Amino acid sequence: MSENKTYLGGCQCGRVRYEAEVELLTFVPATQFKLQSGQDVLTDYQFNKKHIHHLFCNVCGIKSFARGIGADGGEMIAINSRCLDGVDPSELKINDYDGKSA
């Protein structure tokens, strides 16, 4: 089992930047996430049951994180691991999830 580590991340153009204490490929409590810049360029998109706020940079179109409510009722952040500085996605174990059929 891996440990939480603090990462910096953000969108492709660099306007959205954040710091997150995460175990890769997990949702994290909102208390472990700090948006450093870019609130003014985020566009919210929701679909299906509209439980998760998928936040896109309106300049480059990248979704580097999303906000929602976890099973425990607390605020959570879903981190796009591909947007974390220094993380090589080819080294991550990916678990496919069929959200359309869920």
Distance (Å, whole) CA 11 – CA 2: 25
What's the domain range around 85? 5-91
78 is a domain residue: yes
98 is a domain residue: no
Contact 20, 28 (CB under 8 A): yes
97 is a domain residue: no
Any idea what the CATH number is for the domain that residue 68 is in?
Answer: 2.170.150.70
Domain count, the chain: 1
- Whether pTM > 0.85 for this model: the answer is no
Q: State the residue for tokens 């996430």.
A: 33
99 is a domain residue: no
79 is a domain residue: yes
The pLDDT tens digits of the residues spanning 59-77 come to 999 999 999 998 899 999 9
Count of C-beta atoms within a 10 Å radius of residue 43: 12
102 is a domain residue: no
The pLDDT tens digits of the residues spanning 16-33 come to 999 999 887 778 999 999
Listed as own residue / partner, the contacts of 34-42 with beta carbons closer than 8 Å and 24 or more positions apart are 37/10, 38/10, 38/11, 41/15, 41/16, 42/16
101 is a domain residue: no
